[in-house]
Each structure stands twice: as C-alpha cells, then as structure tokens.
C-alpha cells in the first residue's frame, strides 16, 4: 500500500469517526456527578464503595447507585448538555464497549439535545434524541410466581424508538406517551397517553433539583398541547392512573356528581356540593 | 303527635320568629379545625420527615438538598411528591366527546325528615329514593375556560311522607378556569323549580349565581386534599327563601384499594336570608365509600351528619343521613 493510499485511508477513518461523533455516539463515554442528594454511592470493582462526590466520573466499569427514598443524583455527560437524573434505589452505568446506558434497576431521566442516546433495560432497548423517564422494576405477575423485571418508559418530548431486547419488534413514541414492557414478552406492550402535567408536577426527579432540565421548554410545549386536546375533548381522562413507580393501576377518586342543590358539576369537589338536605324541604314545616 | 300529623299541622303554622344569634357547635367546630390542621400537619410532617431524613443520612458528598424547583408557570408550592408522580392514563378519541349523560340513583335513610328542631316539632325518620337524570354539553369556546351547559331532572320519593313526593328540574351553565396552577376558579348560573308529583303544583323556584375556588394537593401516594370556598346568591320564590351563602369546605380523598375510594369531607356554610332577619350556620361532615367498576359505573355508600344553627330557633336541626347510590355516566 503506497503512502497516498495510507493517507487516504487515514483521512477516511478520521471523517468516519467525526461523523460518528456528530451522530452522538462518541460523547457517551462518561458521565460526571454534578448534584447529589442524600445517599448516593460510587462503586468501582477494584475499590471499596464510597459516598459519591460532585465531580465523580463513571466511564465504564464504575457505577452510581442511590439509596432509599429521597436520594437523587444528576449526572452530566461529556458534551456538557446531555443529562441523566437518577431517582432512589437506582443502579446506573455506561457500557464501556457500546456506550449504552445500562439501567438494571431504578429510575432515571435521560435528556439529550444533540445526537442520540441508547439505553438498555431488562425489557427494552431504547434509542432517543429527546427527554424521557425510564424505570426498571420487579413486578409480580402471578400469585406465587417469581418476580419479573419490567420497564416503564415515558417520553416527555420529541420522538423515540423502543424495541424488544432481541430487536425483533419496535415502536415509535412521541412526547406524552408511555409504554410498559415485561421482560421476556415477545411483543411490545400498548402505547398509552399519560397526563404529563400531573406527572411533572408530582415527580421529584423533575422538580427536586437546583436547575431545570434544559429541555423543559420543549416539555412544556407537549404539556400545552395535551392540555389543549383535553380541553377540546380529543383527549380524555380514563379515570385510571399508574401509581408512581411500578405498574400498579388504580382508579382515581371520582367526583361526587350529584347532590340536591348543585347541578351536575363534575369539576367541583364533593364537599362543595354535597347536600342531602333539600331546602326548602317539602316535608318540613 | 305523629310525624305525618305534625307535618300537616305545621305547614300552615306560623311560628313567631325568635331571634337568637347563631350558635356554634363546639363538637363539629372542633372537627373542622381538626380536619384543617390534619391536612396542614400532614404536609408539614412530610416536609419535616424529608428534612430529618436528609439531615441524618447526609454525607459530606451529598450536601445539596432538593430545592423544589418549580416548573415554568407552576407555583413554588410544589406538592408533596415521590420520585415519580402518578401517571393518569389518557384516551385519544377519534372525535371530541363533548356530551355526557348520567343517571344517579340513591336510597337513603334520613333521621330527621322534617328538619325539625325537636322541640316544637319532634324529629322523625323516613326513607327516601332520590333519582337524577342529567345531560351536559362541554363547549370549548375560549381556552382555558371550560364552559358546560347542563340540565337535570330529579325524582324524589318518600316512604312514609309519600304525599310530599316531588320532582325537580334544573338547568344552567357552568364555567371553570385554572388560575396559575394555584386554584381552580369556577362559576355557574342555573335555575331550578320543584313541584309536587301529585297535581304538579310548583312549591319552589330559584336562580342561583355561584362563584368559588378550590385547590387540590397530593399528600401521599393516592391521597389528595381539597379545600375551597364557595359563594351563592339565590333569589327564590317564595321570596322568604332568597338567600346568600358563603361556604368553606375541605375534602380528603384516598384510594384504599385499586377501585375503592374513601372521601371524608366537611363544610361550614353561612346562610343569610335576604328578605328576613334569619341567619343560619350549618356544618356538615360526611364520608363516602365509592367502588368504581370502571370509569362509567360506580357504587357508593355514604353517611352525613349535619347541624344547623339559626337566628330563628325553630329552624335549628340536627340530621343524619345514610344510604347507598349507583352512578352511571356515559360520554360520547
């Protein structure tokens, strides 16, 4: 191979690597802790675990784990824009070979601005260029059956593609949608719309940090669109809600819709309108 | 004196007004204060727990505590939250579902059907069937204002006092407006008429202009506290019943199991009768247990206890209601 061929090959390699970096593959080598709350541990295979410190970096074999309720961490990736937030009881690392986020257990928010980030859980492979909540948890599917791992994925803005770990099935989500997937299920679960306004308002992983997510304006656009569609009647509450972490569903308290004095008034609390005392009572003196 | 004869005699019996200041019932008043304080303490306790936990578990590496940074456009008063809040599931419709029909059937026991003071007229119980049919139409006119037209027909049937069975028709418009995530403002104008089943004679007519506001906060997982204020101005016929109401209310909702919800509520209401010198203070406490089969059908049991104190002592009463109801609601 002559020198000019070598130079050409070298140039092509550099271009290829630059292109890979531009696509967002390269910056996910490492993530650095920039905000910590309560119990956050830094784990390294060849060293004893220790409390994490701001500035600690994971870039392969290391991982961050968080403690019980209230423990939170915010990590910044190499590009200084992409952010991962960790909820309590979470294990978070970056695969040193594939640069994919690994979330075997717990809760995270991934917020990407340039490029595409990949995340692997027990039940889903995720590719996203936006902001999403990802949760891995164990769930009992049948009585006396062993627990199964499951993943909940809530996209807050933009678009994302989720697929089964074997890559045979995939679906695309848009902001405001959620999917729940059990490990081992060959088919992907149904995509559901969720009320993002409520999710954001009551989630410490969103509100519990000193700085807002940089993508919050985009998330607010999705919230506004949902609220508009709810107001128009195109979107409707089913009455069901998934209770925080995990997949337990419950029926939200229905408003007490009938009373004597107030007309049908579903938006007014029961206590405001309930009145079982007709006045005037036709039987009363 | 039987209840029936008491009612017949007293319908035309003019009792001389005995003006007395409204009396406050310490027992129920204490309950109100307890409810409000409980809600407040629940929130404070939760915050305190977090602070304490943070203080005890903090390590040198974890010195920053959550600031509760609010979302753009949301109040600084962030609700008590977990890592991940509840995810209400929405359903996308192929076309807007603006109409709703509903039916509500309730059967109840009323301990004091005459709303008697127990002195001039003795208290007595009866059973009551209360059936409502209603329809509403949501009109998305100016965002984010919600506008709803509604109409309803009620059928009220007594057991022992069946000659007083009556029907009622009510219709009007309701408005709702969220205010900067802090409160929900609401207003309504509606009119109603009540008439006896036998002969159809109208015995009551009113126009109600209503304004109110409330706020809801999540306390714990599946638990919600609501509190608010409501004003009503009700010109009525007969005009002696024209009145102005100011009410404060609070409600605690808790989902006990997946489809079973408990609602504990309290209301204090001040009623001024504008055509007479009558002024009442009534307090009501109640509990609903609601089982929802799905988003369209729910079954409930309820108990309420109310105390009314009036400047006219013959208008004072205590009453206990208990019963069950079935609600069916369909949107299309």
In this predicted structure, which of B123-137, B215-229, B275-289, B308-322 has the lowest mean pLDDT? B215-229
Highest mean pLDDT among B70-84, B114-128, B231-245: B231-245
A271 sits in which H/E element: helix A270-273
| Shortest Cα–Cα distance, B28 to chain A (Å) | 15
What is chain A's percent helix, strand, coil content, to nearest 5?
20, 40, 45
A213 pLDDT higher than 70: yes
CA distances from B114 to A231, B96, B119, B120, B269 (A): 43, 45, 12, 11, 20
Nearest to A194 among B65, B88, B222 (CB): B88
- Quick check: A235 contacting B, CB < 8 Å? yes
Task: Give the model's pLDDT for residue A80.
Answer: 86
Check: CB of residue B114 under 8 Å from CB of residue A283.
yes
- Quick check: A184 contacting B, CB < 8 Å? no
Task: Give the model's pLDDT for residue B196.
Answer: 87
Tokens for A231? 């107001």
Residue A232: list chain B partners with CB under 8 A: 96, 140
Average pLDDT over residues A43-72: 92
Task: Compute the mean pLDDT over every residue in chain B, rounded to the nearest whole number.
Answer: 77
Instruction: Give chain B's domain count.
Output: 1
B93 pLDDT higher than 70: yes
Give the residue from B88, B139, B143, B330 with the most A CB atoms within 10 Å of its CB, the best one to mutate.
B88
Work out the pLDDT band at B34, boundaries 50, 70, 90: very low
Tokens 């905000």 — which residue?
A35
Query: CA A146 to CA B154: how far, in whole Å?
Result: 53
- Determine, yes or no, domain membership for B46: no
Average pLDDT over residues B31-44: 44
Q: Which residue of A lies nearest to B63 if distances are taken between CA atoms?
A: A37
Task: Report DSSP letters for A151-205, one per residue.
Answer: EEEEEEESEEEEE-TTSS-EEEEETTEEEEEETT-SSPPPEEEE-HHHHHHTBHH
Q: How far apart are the first and last CA of chain A?
A: 112
Classify burial at B14, counting beta carbons within 10 Å of its beta carbon; exposed 0-12, middle 13-18, buried 19 or more: exposed
A259 pLDDT higher than 70: no
Which residues share a beta bridge with B267? B249, B284
Work out the pLDDT band at B2, boundaries 50, 70, 90: very low
In this predicted structure, which of A67-71, A115-119, A251-255 has the lowest mean pLDDT? A251-255
Check: CB of residue B117 under 8 Å from CB of residue B314.
yes
A55 vs B33 pLDDT, higher one: A55
Check: CB of residue A237 under 8 Å from CB of residue B88.
yes
Tokens for A34? 């920039």
Nearest to A38 among B54, B67, B71 (CB): B54
Highest mean pLDDT among B16-20, B38-42, B138-142: B138-142
Work out the pLDDT band at A282, boundaries 50, 70, 90: low
Q: Residue B199's CB: how many other CB atoms inside 10 A?
A: 6
Q: Look at B164 and A194 and tell me if their CB atoms are within 8 Å.
A: no
Query: CA B271 to CA A215: how far, in whole Å?
Result: 51
Query: CA A118 to CA A94: how far, in whole Å?
Result: 10
Query: CA B313 to CA A210: how far, in whole Å?
Result: 59
- What is the tens place of the pLDDT at every residue in B282-330? 998 989 999 988 888 889 999 989 899 999 988 888 889 899 999 898 9
Number of H helices, E strands in chain B: 2, 14
Task: Give the model's pLDDT for residue B259.
Answer: 87
Average pLDDT over residues B203-230: 87
Check: CB of residue A207 under 8 Å from CB of residue B81.
yes
- Determine, yes or no, domain membership for B319: yes
B224 pLDDT higher than 90: no
A2 pLDDT higher than 80: no
Which residues of A, range 77-116, sit inside 8 Å of B by Cβ?
Answer: 87-88, 107
CA distances from B102 to A231, B135, B300 (A): 20, 6, 15
Check: CB of residue B124 under 8 Å from CB of residue B114.
yes
| Shortest Cα–Cα distance, B329 to chain A (Å) | 10
| Shortest Cα–Cα distance, A100 to chain B (Å) | 23
- Determine, yes or no, domain membership for B106: no
Task: Give the model's pLDDT for residue A255.
Answer: 54
Q: Look at A195 and B90 and tell me if their CB atoms are within 8 Å.
A: yes
Check: CB of residue B210 under 8 Å from CB of residue B231.
yes
Average pLDDT over residues A39-46: 92
- Determine, yes or no, domain membership for B113: no
Task: Give the model's pLDDT for residue A27.
Answer: 65
- Determine, yes or no, domain membership for B26: no
Task: Give the model's pLDDT for residue B216.
Answer: 85
- Determine, yes or no, domain membership for B220: yes
CA distances from A146 to A95, A106, A139, A149, A152 (A): 28, 19, 9, 10, 19
Q: Is the pTM of this model over 0.80?
A: no
Pairing of strands A125-128, A159-163: antiparallel
Pairing of strands B99-110, B126-139: antiparallel
SS3 per-residue string spanning A209-240:
CCCCCCCHHHHHHHHHHHHHHHHHCCEEEEEE
Nearest to B295 among A107, A239, A256 (CB): A239
In this predicted structure, which of A257-266, B22-31, B104-113, B289-298 has the lowest mean pLDDT? A257-266
Q: Which residue of A lies nearest to B236 if distances are taken between CA atoms?
A: A280
Task: Compute the mean pLDDT over every residue in chain A, rounded to the nearest whole number.
Answer: 83
Check: CB of residue A222 under 8 Å from CB of residue B112.
no
Check: CB of residue B127 under 8 Å from CB of residue A283.
no
Q: Which residue of A lies nearest to B69 if distances are taken between CA atoms?
A: A207
The full set of domains in chain A, from first to last, is 22-251 (2.60.120.1440), 254-285 (no CATH)
B166 pLDDT higher than 80: yes
A68 vs B34 pLDDT, higher one: A68
Q: What sign does the CA torsion over B112, B116, B119, B120 have?
A: negative
CA distances from B162 to A11, B113, B159, B208, B324 (A): 97, 12, 6, 28, 20
Residue B152's domain is classified under what CATH number?
A: 2.40.160.40
| Shortest Cα–Cα distance, B267 to chain A (Å) | 6
Residue A136: list chain B partners with CB under 8 A: none
- Compute CA B86 distance to the chain's CA centroid, rounded to the nearest angstrom: 25
Average pLDDT over residues A14-29: 50
Instruction: State what percent of residues in chain B have pLDDT above 90.
Output: 35
Q: Which domain holds residue B236?
A: 119-331
A257 pLDDT higher than 60: no
- Determine, yes or no, domain membership for B69: no
Residue A281: list chain B partners with CB under 8 A: 113-115
Phi-psi region of A16 (alpha: psi -120 to 50; beta: other; left: phi over 0): alpha
Q: Look at A283 and B158 and tell me if their CB atoms are within 8 Å.
A: yes
> What ipTM goes with this model?
0.82
B141 sits in which H/E element: none
- Determine, yes or no, domain membership for B216: yes
Query: CA A114 to CA A102: how far, in whole Å?
Result: 20
Which residues of A, range 5-34, sit inside 8 Å of B by Cβ?
Answer: none
Nearest to A256 among B92, B98, B288 (CB): B288
Residue A242: list chain B partners with CB under 8 A: 86-87, 89
A86 pLDDT higher than 70: yes
Residue B15: list chain A partners with CB under 8 A: 285
Does residue B43 sit in helix, strand or coil? helix
């Amino acid at each position: 191979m002559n020198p000019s061929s070598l130079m050409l090959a070298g140039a092509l390699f550099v271009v290829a690597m630059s292109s890979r970096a531009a696509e967002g593959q390269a910056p996910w080598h490492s993530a650095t802790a920039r905000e910590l709350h309560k119990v956050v541990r830094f784990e390294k295979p060849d060293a004893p675990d220790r409390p994490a410190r701001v500035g600690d970096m994971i870039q392969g074999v290391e991982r961050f784990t968080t403690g019980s309720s209230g423990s939170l961490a915010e990590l910044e990736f190499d590009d200084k824009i992409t952010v991962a937030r960790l909820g309590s009881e979470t294990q978070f690392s970056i695969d040193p070979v594939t640069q994919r986020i690994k979330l075997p257990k717990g809760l995270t928010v991934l917020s990407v601005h340039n490029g595409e980030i990949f995340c692997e859980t027990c039940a889903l492979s995720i590719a996203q260029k936006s902001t999403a909540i990802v949760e891995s948890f164990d769930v009992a599917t049948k009585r006396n059956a062993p627990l199964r791992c499951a993943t909940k994925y809530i996209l807050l803005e933009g678009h994302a593609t989720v697929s089964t770990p074997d890559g045979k099935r995939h679906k695309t989500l848009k902001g405001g949608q959620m999917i729940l997937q059990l490990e081992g299920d060959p088919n992907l679960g149904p995509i559901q719309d969720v009320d993002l306004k409520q999710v954001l308002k009551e989630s410490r992983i969103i509100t519990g940090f000193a700085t807002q997510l940089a993508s919050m304006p985009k998330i607010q656009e999705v919230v506004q669109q949902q609220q508009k569609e709810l107001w128009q009647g195109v979107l409707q509450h089913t009455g069901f809600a998934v209770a925080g972490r995990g997949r337990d569903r419950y029926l939200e308290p229905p408003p007490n819709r009938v009373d004597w004095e107030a007309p049908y008034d579903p938006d007014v609390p029961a206590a405001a309108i309930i009145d079982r005392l007709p006045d005037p009572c036709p039987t009363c003196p | 004196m039987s209840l029936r004869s008491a009612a017949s005699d007293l319908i035309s019996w003019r009792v001389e007004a005995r003006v007395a200041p409204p009396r406050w019932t310490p027992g129920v008043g204490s309950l109100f204060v307890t409810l409000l304080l409980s809600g407040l303490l629940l929130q404070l306790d939760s915050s305190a727990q977090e602070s304490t936990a943070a203080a005890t578990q903090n390590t040198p590496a974890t010195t920053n505590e959550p600031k509760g940074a609010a979302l753009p456009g949301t109040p600084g008063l962030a609700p008590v939250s977990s890592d991940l809040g509840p995810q209400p599931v929405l359903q996308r419709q192929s076309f807007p579902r603006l109409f709703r029909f509903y039916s509500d059937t309730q059967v109840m026991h009323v301990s004091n059907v005459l709303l008697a003071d127990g002195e001039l007229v003795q208290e007595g119980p009866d059973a009551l069937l209360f059936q409502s049919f209603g329809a509403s139409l949501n009109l998305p006119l100016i965002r984010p204002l919600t506008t709803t037209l509604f109409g309803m027909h009620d059928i009220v049937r007594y057991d022992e006092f069946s000659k007083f069975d009556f029907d009622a028709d009510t219709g009007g418009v309701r408005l709702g407006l969220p205010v900067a995530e802090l409160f929900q403002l609401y207003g309504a104008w509606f009119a109603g008429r009540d008439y006896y089943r036998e002969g159809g004679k109208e015995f009551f007519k009113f126009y109600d202009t209503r304004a109110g506001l409330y706020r809801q906060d999540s306390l714990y997982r599946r638990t919600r506290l609501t509190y608010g204020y409501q004003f009503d101005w009700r010109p009525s016929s007969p005009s002696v019943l024209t009145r102005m109401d100011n009410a404060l209310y609070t409600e605690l909702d808790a989902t006990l199991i997946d489809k079973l919800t408990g609602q504990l509520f309290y209301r204090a209401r001040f009623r001024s009768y504008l055509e007479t010198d009558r002024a009442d203070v009534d307090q009501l406490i109640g509990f609903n247990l609601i089982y929802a089969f799905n988003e369209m059908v729910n079954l409930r049991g309820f108990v309420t206890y109310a105390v009314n104190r009036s400047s006219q002592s013959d208008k004072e009463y205590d009453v206990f209601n208990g019963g069950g109801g079935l609600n069916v609601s369909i949107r299309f």
